[in-house]
Amino acid sequence: MTQSEAHPTASFPDEEAVSGRLNALRAGVLGANDGIVSIAALLVGVVAATDDAGVILTTALAGIAAGALSMGVGEYVSVSSQRDAEKAQLEREKMWHDHRPEWELDQLARLHMETGMSEATARAAAIEQTAFDPLAAHARAHLGIDPEELVNPWHAAFASLGAFTLGGIFPLLTAVLAPDAFKVPLTFAVVIVALAVSGTVSARLGHAPRLRAIVRNVLGGSLAMAITYGIGTFAGTAL
């Protein structure tokens, strides 16, 4: 018997790490996409209204700073609330186990039976798990929470803040450095490539279909830029 046959997950050493990085991955992908699309859409709107390099640069820097800080703070608050809720649920599970251990044991056995186990197997599994770590067993089976892997608000906040900043740099450089006649088309082109790369990376890290992620990113970003370009053109003409 080979090592991979004895240990089915041995051929996929990063399989167990996927769930642990999904929170930071979600925040990072959201931040990068938001940085790319938000700053690009903002800049093509401004470029459509004015060719003043100072206005374009100031808008880009202010947009990146405001967006990155907003994303970071928003992620921290959101994930902190989720973590607080998870801790509260774990506290309730602990209290219930202290006050009604037999009822909790029966509940765990019923939860196992819902996955297809026979009653005898489910009860045997519940007894063994309760003897080893009752809180963790109930948290995973009943709440879908792993007490050892609670979401981390700081990871999400910094991932989102950093990714937004990085994503916003690409349209910033294009809009500021490109010749006036090519600012908008080059920004569109750079953003499409950046969104395709972002979709590819997120799909690869999450083991998801790549084409779907790329198409979703590119279509959404292109639509946002087209709308803001139209608004900027209208505003520039009207003013």
Flag whether 4 is in a domain. Answer: no
How many domains would you assign to the chain? 1
pLDDT at 63: 93
pLDDT at 7: 44
pLDDT at 146: 76
Q: Residue 55's domain spans which residues?
A: 20-238
pLDDT at 22: 64
95 burial via Cβ count (<10 Å: 0-12, 13-18, 19+) = exposed
d(CA 218, CA 226): 12
Flag whether 29 is in a domain. Answer: yes
Flag whether 7 is in a domain. Answer: no
Flag whether 9 is in a domain. Answer: no
Flag whether 64 is in a domain. Answer: yes
Flag whether 230 is in a domain. Answer: yes
Flag whether 147 is in a domain. Answer: yes
Residues of the chain with pLDDT below 70 are: 1-26, 236-239
pLDDT at 177: 87
pLDDT at 26: 67
pLDDT at 68: 92
pLDDT at 15: 44
pLDDT at 30: 76
DSSP, collapsed to helix, strand or coil, labels residue 2 as coil
Flag whether 159 is in a domain. Answer: yes
pLDDT at 58: 92
